Structure 1
Amino acid sequence: NADAEILGLPDIVIQIFLGTGIAMILATCMIGQLATQVNASHCMIDYINNYFALFTLYVAMTIEFTGIMHSSYLIQNILAALSGKPIQSNEEPRTPFQMAFFYGRVLLSLAILCFALAVTFEALWAGNTTMWEGVPRVVSLILFFGLMSVVGMLEGMQIAFFAVAKLPASERGNSFFAKKTCNLLFKGNGQNLPGFMIGRQLTVVSCFFVVARVTTLNIEDNEPNVFGVTDSSQAFLNTGLHAAVITTILASITWQLAASAFPLAFLANPATYILLVIALTLEATGVCAGAWV
């Protein structure tokens, strides 16, 4: 609440940190994400040597089994076909029943994704989201696609950077921006790669906070439900799970799969170099240095 009084701080300070969400962004980055990533990178085995890690794995596998995100596998297959790279797997070939079950979940996932997008666009155009007042709907729509693309690029860059990290310099591409990106990323003692990870995380969380405002529904009791659904269905949509489906598939998994299939194409993209510079600049400010404590 930007109107709250905290520690006697001036209103302008409270407005900046609470009203804009900067305080929550920094707390989420340092406490909820970067701190655990730093610990896991240094204590890999110890980090998973507990029952909570096992529980988290089972929950993730259960969610994957439901097929909600299976449309990402379809994208993976399409990208593999485009790149001419067969998907390597240690699993046995699927039986006809397993194939039908798999693609049935793919169709289910596509239907859920399309419905989630339809709900978001309908609510956004009707002004029934938590987007800041005064922001035109067209601007909100542009922000939605723009920030989703930025997040997707950053997700893909992470995959592409690790894919080329062990390649000799001669195999990292010959384009102008591929060379500039690699020279900046791998120069010196290699500290720019973990530095990018920190700056990337801060940028991703910042983008997601805005995207969350665009996709989160805000239906008043006296207003009609989206597409005329029942009150119980509207209450379910108000939880924001439809937004989680959209962002996970379209702003994360899709771009990661694209980067894994075409890592050199990501390096040659001018946007990759620009986002790398932005991420390193944010990391250099030290705003997330608390994650190393």
Structure 2
Amino acid sequence: DPSADVLGLPDGVKTVFLDVPGLGMIIFTCILGQLTTQVNASHCMIDTINNYFALFTLYTTMVVEFSGIMHASYLIQNILSGISGKPIMTNEEPRTGFTFAFFWGRVVMSVAILSFCMAATLVALFNGQTSISTKYPSITPGISVFLFSFFMAIVGMLEGMQIAFFAVAKLPANERGTSFFGRKTCELLFKGNGENLPGFMIGRQLTVVASFFLVGSITSMNIVPGTGENIFGVSDSAQTFLNYGFQGAVITTILASISWQLAASAFPIAFLNNPVTYILLCVALFLEFTGLCSGAWV
């Protein structure tokens, strides 16, 4: 509610920090939810994992992976491996029999889940059944789809850039970029003693968090169960579950994060040669220069 009083702040400040783009929550999440932990872990690696919460987190992620919800990523990994000609490095034994069937069965299930999530999200966007359409009716469905794709691509590029930068860090300087923008990117990133690499990581994190928040607001459904407007006629309980944003989490994790990381690991030089990479690097370094997330170093 724009008219609500928040610490006596002016309406313009409330709009920027609490409404669009929600800068307050973005900075809060970025510093306390990510950067602070990463900074501490970089200095105290053993202490970070030497506790039961770290063990609980590990087991939780293993359960999610075992469930197969994200196994579509493995299909993408195999496709990119075939295209690039690079074998997949693994310590696992070759899958045979039940293990083979169980693995690819989960891949098929994951692709089906991802397809449903994409279809449900696009239908909701075109029907104006998302939070952004309700809150800002002037934004047309076409613009909503464009913004959804745009911020997904931004997240994907930044995720891939992180992988590509570390992949080429060990290469000689003359092999890091094979085009004008590739060389410009490497010159800026590895300038001096490489001080811009940590700066990129901070600016990148802020940009990724902001993009995720925006994608979440674009894809979250606001359909009231029981009104006969459920997506694809699903049950009211299923619609209630979708309203929590599960479909957005699946889409962004697979298509805006893991897929781009896999692509960057297979084609790191291609990422460096992309002019968008240089532009996003400059944006990330500028955001770090502003000091918005410098509190993470305290």
1:214: which partner in 2? Answer: 218
How far did residue 125 of structure 1 move?
1.0
- Alpha carbon RMSD of aligned pairs, Å? 1.1
Q: C-alpha separation between the residues in 2 aligned to 1:177 and 1:189?
A: 20
1:105-148 deviation per Cα after TM superposition (whole angstroms, max 9, x unaligned)? 00000000000011101111111101141211100000011110
Is residue 129–residue 216 contact of structure 1 (8 Å, CA) maintained in 2?
yes
Q: C-alpha separation between the residues in 2 aligned to 1:220 and 1:98?
A: 42
Q: C-alpha separation between the residues in 2 aligned to 1:12 and 1:149?
A: 29
Q: C-alpha separation between the residues in 1 aligned to 2:4 and 2:193?
A: 46
How far did residue 16 of structure 1 move?
2.0
How far did residue 223 of structure 1 move?
5.0
Instruction: Identify the range of structure 1 (5-14 vs 157-166) with the bigger mean alpha-carbon deviation.
Output: 5-14
Aligned ranges for residues 26-105 of structure 1 at < 5 Å?
26-105=27-106
How far did residue 161 of structure 1 move?
0.4
1:22-75 deviation per Cα after TM superposition (whole angstroms, max 9, x unaligned)? 111111111111111111112112111111101100000010001000000010
Query: Counterpart of 2:178 in structure 1: which amino acid?
Result: N
1:150-205 deviation per Cα after TM superposition (whole angstroms, max 9, x unaligned)? 10000000000011111111221321111111100001121100100010011111
2:11: which partner in 1? Answer: 11
1:171: which partner in 2? Answer: 175
2:273: which partner in 1? Answer: 268
1:203: which partner in 2? Answer: 207
Is residue 199–residue 281 contact of structure 1 (8 Å, CA) maintained in 2?
yes
How far did residue 88 of structure 1 move?
1.2
1:107: which partner in 2? Answer: 108
1:286: which partner in 2? Answer: 291
Instruction: Identify the range of structure 1 (63-72 vs 123-132) with the bigger mean alpha-carbon deviation.
Output: 123-132
TM-score normalised by L of structure 2: 0.96
How far did residue 254 of structure 1 move?
0.1
Is residue 177–residue 186 contact of structure 2 (8 Å, CA) maintained in 1?
no
Q: C-alpha separation between the residues in 1 aligned to 2:139 and 2:297?
A: 37
How far did residue 11 of structure 1 move?
2.2
Identity across matched positions, percent? 66
1:162: which partner in 2? Answer: 166
2:2: which partner in 1? Answer: 2
Give ranges in structure 1 of 5+ residues lacking alignment. none
Q: After the TM superposition, which segments of 4 or more aligned residues of structure 1 sit over 6 Å from their partners?
A: none
Q: Would you say 1:25 and 2:30 are equivalent positions?
A: no
Q: Secondary structure at the match of 2:131?
A: coil
